Amino acid sequence: MDDINYGDAEKYVNDDSIEMAWAMKVSLINYMHLNMTYIYTYIHVLFIYLFIY
């Protein structure tokens, strides 16, 4: 099996702007997911209230 040579690890650094953009993207995805869960739950409860009671 061939070993992949990625070069010297010392020349790779974390770019703060990329890290911040990634964190903001993940938080936005999480925010949208939580809102969709809330809306689904609200609609489900409303459906039960309107059609069962």
Stretch 23-41: mean pLDDT: 92
Residue 3: band (very low, low, confident or very high) from pLDDT cuts 50, 70, 90: confident
Of 14, 4, 19, nearest to 27 by C-alpha is 19
What mean pLDDT is predicted for residues 20-43?
Answer: 92
Chain-centre distance for alpha carbon 37: 14
What is the per-residue pLDDT for 7? 81
For the four alpha carbons of 2, 5, 19 and 22, in that order, the dihedral sign comes to negative
**Could you tell me the pLDDT band of residue 9, with boundaries at 50, 70 and 90?**
confident
Write down the pLDDT at residue 1. Answer: 56
- Residue 40, judged by CB atoms within 10 A of its CB (0-12, 13-18, 19+), counts as exposed
What's CA 26's distance to the chain center, in Å? 4
